[in-house]
Amino acid sequence: MELNGSGTSRPPHGEPPIIGPGYTYASVTDKISVFVLSGETPRGWFIGFALAFLLFMGLLYFVAYTVLVGLGVWGINVPIGWGFAIINFVWWIGIGHAGTLISAILLLLRQHWRTSINRFAEAMTLFAVSCAGLFPLLHMGRPWFAYWMLPYPNTMGIWPQTRSPLVWDVFAVSTYATVSLLFWYVGLIPDLGTLRDRAKSRLGQVGYGMLAMGWRGSAQHWHRYETAYLLLAGLATPLVISVHSVVSFDFATSLIPGWHTTIFPPYFVAGAIFSGFAMVLTLTIPIRTVFRLEDFITARHLRNMANIMLATGLIVGYGYLMEAFMAWYGGNRYEGDMLLNRLTGPYAPLFWSLLLCNILVPQLLWSERVKASVPALFVISIIVNIGMWLERFIIVVTSLHRDFLPSAWGMYSPTGVDWGLLIGSIGLFLSLLFLFIRFLPMISIFEMRTLLPTPEKAHAPLGPRAPSPAAGD
Partner 1 sequence: MSAAPPLYGLLAEFDRPEDLLAAAHRAHDEGYRRMDAYTPFPVEGLAEAIGFQRNRLPLLVLIGGIAGALVGFLTQYWAAVIDYPINVGGRPFNSWPSFIPVTFEVTILFAALTAVLGMLALNRLPMPYHPLFNAPRFALATRNRFFLCIEAADPRFDRDGTRRFLEGLTAREVTEVAH
Q: Which residues bind partner 1 (CB under 8 A)?
A: 24-26, 29, 151, 157-163, 165, 167-168, 171-172, 175, 178-179, 182-183, 185-186, 190, 193-194, 196-198, 209-210, 213-228, 231-232, 235-236, 238-239, 242, 246, 249, 446-447, 449-450, 454-456, 469-473
Least distance from C-beta 58 to partner 1, angstroms?
33
Least distance from C-beta 233 to partner 1, angstroms?
10
Contacts 24+ apart (CB under 8 A), 331-336: 332/257, 334/257, 334/403, 334/404, 335/257, 335/258
Alpha carbons 36 and 28: distance in angstroms, whole number: 14
Least distance from C-beta 96 to partner 1, angstroms?
16
* Beta carbons of 398 and 258 less than 8 angstroms apart: yes
Least distance from C-beta 245 to partner 1, angstroms?
8
Least distance from C-beta 4 to partner 1, angstroms?
16
442 closest CA partner among 90, 157, 99, 152: 99
Is the CB of 141 or the CB of 469 nearer to partner 1? 469
Alpha carbons 473 and 468: distance in angstroms, whole number: 10
Is the CB of 414 or the CB of 441 nearer to partner 1? 441
Least distance from C-beta 7 to partner 1, angstroms?
24
Is the CB of 359 or the CB of 466 nearer to partner 1? 466
244 closest CA partner among 172, 164, 174: 172
Alpha carbons 386 and 347: distance in angstroms, whole number: 16
Is the CB of 23 or the CB of 89 nearer to partner 1? 23
Is the CB of 163 or the CB of 465 nearer to partner 1? 163
Among left, alpha and beta (phi > 0; psi -120 to 50; other), residue 55 is: alpha
> What backbone phi and psi angles, to 5 degrees, belong to 464?
-65, -25
Is the CB of 51 or the CB of 466 nearer to partner 1? 466
Alpha carbons 140 and 97: distance in angstroms, whole number: 24
Least distance from C-beta 104 to partner 1, angstroms?
11
Is the CB of 74 or the CB of 249 nearer to partner 1? 249
Alpha carbons 23 and 3: distance in angstroms, whole number: 7
* Beta carbons of 61 and 428 less than 8 angstroms apart: no
